[in-house]
Amino acid sequence: MSKPFFIYAPYYRDEGLLQRRSEVRPVHLEHMTRLINSGILRVGGVLTDPETDGNLALHALASSMIVMYDSLSEAKAMLESDVFWTANVWDKEKLVVLPITPAVPLP
């Protein structure tokens, strides 16, 4: 039976990040849409700098999501198959995937 996992996937902070992220974002969003449609991705979004001026692209810090999988290894495998992983948008060393027990029902 699948269970929820919380994912925190911070972005690399190098000079070329914005261009890499922009180039592969459409493919990433297609992948996320498939996960939404299959019921795997329950909640997701971008985390931003609290001092942002409204420009999400420039102030995006990380992806965050709650996904449903049978195991931690399946959740990690999903991340590794995403273009944000292969294009070095997500900082692989700082990635966090943890089981979560929601206090309220997930959408």
d(CA 79, CA 42): 15
Please report the pLDDT score of residue 90 as a whole number.
98
Q: What is the mean pLDDT of residues 64-80?
A: 98
State residue 71's pLDDT score: 98
Q: Which residues pair with 21 in a beta bridge?
A: none
CA distance 50 to 58: 12
The total of other beta-carbon atoms located within 10 Å of residue 97's CB is: 19
The full DSSP string for 30-90 is: HHHHHHHHTT-EEEEEEEE-TT--S-HHHHEEEEEEEEEESSHHHHHHHHHTSHHHHTT-B
State how beta strands 60-69 and 96-99 pair: unpaired
| Residue 59: per-residue pLDDT | 83
pLDDT tens, position by position, 7-66: 999 999 999 999 999 999 999 999 999 999 999 999 999 998 887 766 666 788 999 999
Q: What is the mean pLDDT of residues 81-90?
A: 98
